[in-house]
Copies of this chain bind each other. A is one copy, B any other.
């Protein structure tokens, strides 16, 4: 038996579904961010910081994508915002069809929808889910060469967050080298340096998100 290449038709079908999801999010006037990074890069801690800083000003929904379990959903739920869990079972990424299932469970309008994808630097980048944009998280212990080794995500992401900057004294990671490597793949990306553990750098990230939430609302009410 030969290997069968079905990625292209699956992706085309996924893109159609992503466009339909997009229409639903547009009706809700939501800014939707698809958050992608390695296992343990700090996606959940990143979301915790955003939620803590913005939950009194904006209605926030978090969609948690995990192969198995509800560890992150429970963490986020404790912050008092709505969370929808998607378990992908064997799939290594969220796709537009799984996201559509979550959409069917949304009963309110949200200003901001944060989607935590499955921890994986490769596959989630290939599947649109109806997001406004992809946000990549790179943590300092992973090394500054990762944008060169996993280029697609860093090429596609509009925002790239360098996390765990509190560990810089203890790991081999050059922030300048990382930024240069990111710029090779994506000259226009907005880059932030944060430490989700301490909250450092989140003032800038939140200011940026607030601008985007308002820009999105203006765009839709035109």
| Partner of A38 from B7, B40, B71 at Cβ < 8 Å | B40
List, in ascending order, chain B residues with CB within 8 A of A166's CB.
170
Q: Could you say which residues of chain B place their CB within 8 Å of the CB of A39?
A: 38, 121, 142-143, 146, 149-150
Tell me if B149 and A69 are in contact (CB < 8 A). yes
Taking CB atoms, residues of chain B closer than 8 Å to A92 are 92, 120, 122-123
A164 near B151 (CB under 8 angstroms)?
A: no
A215 within 8 A of B: no
Asked if A121 contacts B120 (CB within 8 A), the reply is yes
- In the assembled complex, the Cα of A150 lies from the Cα of B91 at a distance in Å of 11
Interface size on A, residues (CB 8 A): 47
Query: Which stretch in A9-17, A54-62, A101-109 binds the other chain?
Result: A9-17
List the B side residues contacting A131 at CB < 8 Å. Answer: none
Is A97 interfacial (CB 8 A cutoff)?
A: yes
Shortest distance in angstroms between A83's beta carbon and chain B's nearest beta carbon?
16
Number of copies: 2
Complex Cα distance, B146 from A10, in Å, reads: 29
| Closest CB in chain B relative to A148 CB, distance in Å | 6
* A172-B167 Cα distance, complex, nearest whole Å: 12
- The minimal Cβ–Cβ distance linking A203 to chain B, given in whole angstroms, is 23
The answer to whether B146 touches A68 (Cβ under 8 A) is: no
> How distant is A144 from chain B, measured CB to nearest CB, in Å?
10
Q: How far is the CA of A76 from the CA of B121 in the complex (A)?
A: 23
A97 touches B3 (CB 8 A): yes
In chain A, positions 84-122 with a C-beta closer than 8 Å to chain B are: 90, 92, 97, 118-122
Q: A26 on the interface (CB 8 Å rule)? A: no
Q: List 17 extra interface pairs beyond A39-B150, A67-B122, CB under 8 A.
A: A4-B10, A6-B6, A7-B90, A38-B40, A38-B142, A39-B143, A39-B149, A40-B141, A40-B143, A67-B151, A90-B126, A120-B122, A139-B141, A141-B141, A141-B164, A167-B167, A170-B170
Would you give 13 A-B contacts (Cβ < 8 Å), ordered by A? A4-B6, A6-B6, A7-B90, A38-B38, A40-B142, A67-B150, A68-B148, A92-B120, A92-B123, A119-B121, A120-B122, A120-B123, A170-B170
